[in-house]
Amino acid sequence: MRQVKFTYFMIVATLLAVFIVGCSTSTSGNEPSSEEGNTEETQQGEETLIVARLSDAENLDPHFSSSINAASIFHESIYEGLIKRDKDMEFQPLLATEWDQLDSETWEFKLREGVEFHDGTPFTAEAVKRTFERVLDEEVASPKAGLFSVIKEIKIVDDYTVQFILTEPFSPLLSILANHEGGILSPTAIDEYGRDLGQHPVGTGPFKFESWNPGQDITITRDEEYWGEKPKIKEVVYKVVPEDATRIAMVETGEAHVAEPIPVSEIERIKSSEDMDLYRSDAMGTIYIGFNFKEEVFQDVRVRQAINYAINTEAIQEGVFNNVGSKALSVIPSKVFGYHSGIQEYGYDINKAKELLKEAGYSDGFETTIWTMDQKERISLAEVVQSQLKGIGIDVEVKVLEYGAWSEAAANGETGMFISSWRNATGDADYIQYHLFHSSSQGSTGNYFFYENPRVDELIEQGRQEYDEDKRIEIYEEIQDIEIEEAVFVPVHYLENTAAIGKNVKGLYMSPSNYLMINDVSIK
């Protein structure tokens, strides 16, 4: 099989492989050996994995899901893509057995035969065509359409050969196809459910959708007819448990097997427990404070710069995050291709902040809001920011919402400032830059800033077309320099994956993108 990989992809995969291997020693021994998975004891173990989670999914549709929180339930469990990433972030076959780049604008995929969707529909080239035509359909209005906008045609060569004809070169294509947005949908389900597919997901994966009690739990069950290696466990139940202490207690008492996310204040408790392990690994994600450009006060760059100077992110790293993860310099973490090591930080300078506010006509400060989801660290962060900005005369009201309500408010431009995060699911800077900063992504796609800069748009589009890795690095460095100079956001914190896991659970893996991978899990 000949798989075309440009030098860029090879470099990204190598860098990510190094960091994943480097952090694997801190996963508290939750990676099973191949022998463990086949022992008689494991085969006779528990059959239901219970995952206690902070919040519910907003939907289970790859074309509309806006969070890793939701995608983690269906990615490579319910839905499968043409290709996938292994633990070293190398591209591997999944529903496609091989692929080739015929020219700069044509990719060909050979499809796996003998595969059926959970509803019995055969998997063929027609399913691939229908899936990507759906995401690009203007009437469907998927917020993910921009990711695939370079696709001019999905050409069926035969039942098990399909070509992607692009309008122009597109370097991130494979990385996006391997991500949750690349999940292949049942054509029958597309016709039957339409926009309601998010409540009735139908894929080809090792688990099939069983039930969803909104605000309570989602259950998926093993597909006994799955084409590949079947999971060891029979069922997974994702329970919504908003209280941090309760989630962790459920693992400690055996009521749940996994709790995530966990507050940093509970890490020592988990590490010292006889009943649970701490899963900990680097993550490709960033927490930041954004400004809603629809608000008049935040349209003045001096105000945004003043707030950057007035927020002490060094103190926040220690006081809020307990030195879990690290201080952020940009929205692109160091493990993602496109990281900029030479960014000029604002630093903490109260006098400079006051001076800028005075120049902007706000010498007496002003009133605003900061919106956050109901996660302990983010609430603490909002309260610290509230306190710090009081020092330059800005009176901040903290608004705490459940994740779904927060996401909807941010997408509708209802916020003032807001605390958000972005996990890079592909390992490529394009996934961050296009979603968060391209003008076409304003709203539910991810640009909650409602930011628009023609030069940034132009550079993002150049980065998508360029295959030379050195030139791409230069492009993303220039983009980040502009974003920092214009103070579109306050970079706060690089994330780290953490979870509480029962000591009887083996084989659980959290990808750098924070997908909870459960296909190899066994429970003794």
Q: C-alpha angle 72/111/196, rounded to 5°?
A: 45
**Does residue 491 have a cis peptide bond before it, meaning omega lies within 30 degrees of 0?**
no
**pLDDT value of residue 276:** 96
**Does residue 512 have a cis peptide bond before it, meaning omega lies within 30 degrees of 0?**
no
**pLDDT value of residue 31:** 37
How far apart are alpha carbons 381 and 419 in whole angstroms?
8
Q: Is the pLDDT of residue 56 over 60?
A: yes
Mean pLDDT of the 414-418 span: 97
- H-only helix segments in 311-349: 313-319
Tell me the domain boundaries of the chain.
31-54+206-262+504-524, 56-203, 282-496
The topology (CATH level 3) of 31-54+206-262+504-524 is D-Maltodextrin-Binding Protein; domain 2 (3.40.190)
Q: How many helices (H) and strands (E) does the chain have?
A: 16, 21
| Tokens 């230069």, located at residue | 474
Q: Which CATH superfamily is domain 56-203 in?
A: Dipeptide-binding Protein; Domain 1 (3.90.76.10)
Q: Coil, helix or strand for 164?
A: strand
pLDDT band at 87 (very low <50, low <70, confident <90, very high): confident
The amino acid at residue 94 is L
SS3 readout for 383-447: HHHHHHHHCCCEEEEEEEECHHHHHHHHHCCCCCEEEEEEECCCCEHHHHHHHHHCHHHECCCCE
SS3 readout for 474-516: HHHHHHHHHHHHCCCEEEEEEEEEEEEEECCEECCEECCCCCE
Treating both helix axes as pointing N-terminal to C-terminal, what angle do 469-485 and 429-437 enclose, rounded to 10 degrees?
40
Q: What is the per-residue pLDDT across 471-512, written as a single tens digit (0 to 9) for each? A: 999 999 999 999 999 999 999 999 999 999 999 999 999 988
Q: Which helix (H) or strand (E) holds 309?
A: helix 301-310
Q: What is the per-residue pLDDT across 456-472, written as a single tens digit (0 to 9) for each? A: 999 999 999 998 989 99
What DSSP line would sit under 253-271, residue for residue? HTS-SEEES--GGGHHHHH
Q: What is the per-residue pLDDT across 207-260, written as a single tens digit (0 to 9) for each? A: 999 999 999 999 999 999 999 999 999 999 999 999 999 999 999 999 999 999
The DSSP letter of residue 299 is G
How far apart are alpha carbons 89 and 97 in whole angstroms?
17
Question: CA nearest 217: which of 242, 241, 239, 247?
Answer: 239
- H-only helix segments in 151-186: 173-177
Half-sphere exposure of 28 (CA within 13 A, CB side): 26
Contacts of 10 (CB under 8 A, 6+ apart): none
Which of 12-16, 230-234, 405-409, 435-439 is predicted least confidently?
12-16
**pLDDT value of residue 67:** 83
**pLDDT value of residue 43:** 45
Q: Is the pLDDT of residue 196 over 80?
A: yes
Average pLDDT, the chain: 90
Q: What is the per-residue pLDDT across 284-307, written as a single tens digit (0 to 9) for each? A: 899 999 999 999 999 999 999 999
What are the CB-based long-range contacts (under 8 Å, 24+) for 217-221? Answer: 218/56, 218/57, 218/60, 218/73, 220/73, 220/77, 220/78
The token pair that represents 132 in the structure block: 């990507």
The token pair that represents 215 in the structure block: 């605000």
**pLDDT value of residue 257:** 98
Half-sphere exposure of 504 (CA within 13 A, CB side): 21
Q: Is the pLDDT of residue 20 over 70?
A: no
Q: 293, 416 in Cβ contact below 8 A?
A: no
Q: Coil, helix or strand for 40?
A: helix
The listed range with the strongest mean pLDDT (20-34, 40-54, 387-401) is 387-401
The CATH architecture that domain 282-496 belongs to is Roll (3.10)
Treating both helix axes as pointing N-terminal to C-terminal, what angle do 469-485 and 454-465 enclose, rounded to 10 degrees?
160
Contacts of 323 (CB under 8 A, 6+ apart): 317
Q: Which helix (H) or strand (E) holds 472?
A: helix 469-485
Q: What is the per-residue pLDDT across 27-52, written as a single tens digit (0 to 9) for each? A: 333 333 333 333 333 345 689 999 99
**pLDDT value of residue 375:** 86
